[in-house]
Amino acid sequence: MIEVDRGLADVVVGETAVSLVDGANGALYYRGRHVDELVDWPFAEVAAWVLSGRRHIGLESELVASAALSDREARLVLDLPRTVHPMQALQCAAVGLDGTERFSDYGEAAQGLAIAAKLPALIATHLAGEILPPGHERNPIDRFLSQIGASGVNAARRAFETMQILQIEHGFNASTFAARVIASTLAPVQNVIAGAIGTLHGRLHGGADQAALEAADRVGSPAKAARFVDDCIARKERVMGMGHREYRTLDPRAKHARRWAQALTQGSEHEATFETLAAIERRFNERMAERGKAMHANIEFYKGLIYRALGLPAQYFTACFAMARVFGYLAHFMESRQDNRLIRPAVRYVGPPVAASEARLGVAGGASAHSVA
């Protein structure tokens, strides 16, 4: 009997030089460099490093020069009903963006870089509900924060840039794997990005930051945190933002998220929410220790509070995630093109037995594994 793992946990499905998620030791590397080092680099230089393994300082100016939306491009999100989630708006718009001329060195990925350059403006435009002026800031982070009205505070800028750097890449996560599956069909890069963004939208993937923050809002105060955690455990429900599929110890990105969340909210209207999150984390750690388990907060647990402190509505949290992770998708797209093979896994058939006459013609019956179309 062939063993089946529906979540592909620990199943090796490929090779990559883009990043290493060292779950046993709680470490994350982009092309051999630990993220603790990379958080001190400018965002665009980290993006260039993930894409190519070199610190291409020119990428920042290329992204800024390509960031402005035409009226037609702005309408890709503005003409959608306001009830459409920002992630769905980005997914729709990704296939309709122009501007490859500045990224010709990236070959088939050029259109993907054009999309990456314009995602911040698309998010800001969707948030504002109107066409925005292009802005004159000289880097993508400052331009985006200016367009959403969150510029001017250096700590807030560094917090946001740090979160973006930490979200660029993370191995064969669900949306990156989806991107590689789509890329393996030799579909255009626009389709790859659109499919990956759709996957990222899921609550168990990119939406955990919003879910963790909303849980803290429902708890309401640190004093009620223990009961909330105990009730979740008793009902066998997830405490969103706690634990990680990959890490057996602390998520190396989480310490940065916690530090910046505390720094940004201290003395502000959001301080009580930080204290509530911290109380949930303490109680969860206590309960896991009772069971001999080590499960800690991941990056999503405190990240949503950073975004809230910047004034972003909760439904835009995952869109900001996509704004960073798109560079990881592109790195995997480019890597997959070097030695492409259609991803076509096997599946075990568990339906009713087929007729004997059909079996003689080569149609499988019973429980067996076959490739899927």
CATH number of 211-309: 1.10.230.10
Mean pLDDT, rounded, for 255-263: 95
Residue 184's pLDDT is 97
Which residues, in sequence order, are bridge partners of residue 368?
A: 349
pLDDT in tens, 111-130: 999 999 999 999 999 999 99
Average pLDDT, the chain: 90
* Cβ neighbours around 369 below 10 Å, total: 13
CATH number of the structural domain 19-206+312-338: 1.10.580.10
How much is the CA Rg of the chain, to the nearest whole Å? 22
Range in 177-181, 203-207, 328-332 with the lowest mean pLDDT:
203-207
The 10s digit of each residue's pLDDT in 185-194 is 999 999 999 9
> 150 vs 96, 282, 335, CA distance in Å?
28, 31, 35
Domain ranges in the chain?
19-206+312-338, 211-309, 347-373
Q: What is the pLDDT of residue 364?
A: 46
pLDDT of 205 reads 86
The CA-atom distances, in angstroms, between 143 and each of 126, 138, 188, 223 are 15, 7, 28, 40
